[in-house]
Chains A and B, each alone.
Chain A
Amino acid sequence: EIVMTQSPATLSVSPGERATLSCRASQSVSSNLAWYQQKPGQAPRLLIYGASTRATGIPARFSGSGSGTEFTLTISSLQSEDFAVYYCQQYNNWPRAFGGGTKVEIK
């Protein structure tokens, strides 16, 4: 079973600044890695799939990179609506596994 580890657990960032979130897999998941954003009281929203492909309607300030076991989600210039919890998920193997999440909060 693959374990996904996200860091940091909480990231304090000022609006307009860059945020970098990390996700590590316990074994290679190739590029079968997705990122989700979740706001309080809402369902998760797909941001990135295939490690680096933005989902439909996702702004260009969101970018993903990595392959194998190390992945990064970068938000180039944080907007007020970007403060949320972000999860990575591998879909290379069963069972599918999510990371524990990174909360991006206002500094």
Chain B
Amino acid sequence: EVQLVESGGGLVQPGGSLRLSCAASGFTFSSYEMNWVRQAPGKGLEWVSYISSSGSTIYYADSVKGRFTISRDNAKNSLYLQMNSLRAEDTAVYYCARDSGTTDYWGQGTLVTVSS
């Protein structure tokens, strides 16, 4: 069974940093591309970032470019999102999602709240 479990969310002040993790199991993690997608409270879905299976290709949404960094450790079956210079508008549930052309499996998400 495919499982994606996010962690690392919490309350952070504007301008602060946070690192999200996603632990993957039930599939060959190193063979799949991965994404982060977020959802602000009461709002729709917003794609945030993508990383290829080897980590050699990375894309970001304009809203996070230069502030967020996606990475992965295939030996640990883990995906990461380093978030710096956080803003109030980054407040959202962050989902880790497997990519097989489209996003086919999603984790349950971790809540990031940016507030003073």
Residues of A whose CB lies within 8 Å of any CB of B are: 32, 34, 36, 38, 42-46, 49-50, 55, 87, 89, 91, 94-101
B41-91: which residues lie under 8 A (CB-CB) from chain A?
44-47, 50, 59, 61-62
A43 touches B103 (CB 8 A): no
16 contacts between A and B (CB under 8 A): A32-B102, A34-B102, A44-B45, A46-B102, A49-B102, A49-B104, A50-B101, A87-B45, A89-B47, A95-B61, A95-B62, A96-B35, A96-B47, A96-B50, A99-B44, A101-B44
Query: Please, which residue of chain B has its CB at the minimum distance from the CB of A48?
Result: B102
> Nearest chain-A residue to B93 (Cβ)?
A43
The total of interchain contacts (Cβ-Cβ below 8 angstroms) comes to: 52
**Smallest Cβ distance from B86 to chain A, in angstroms?**
20
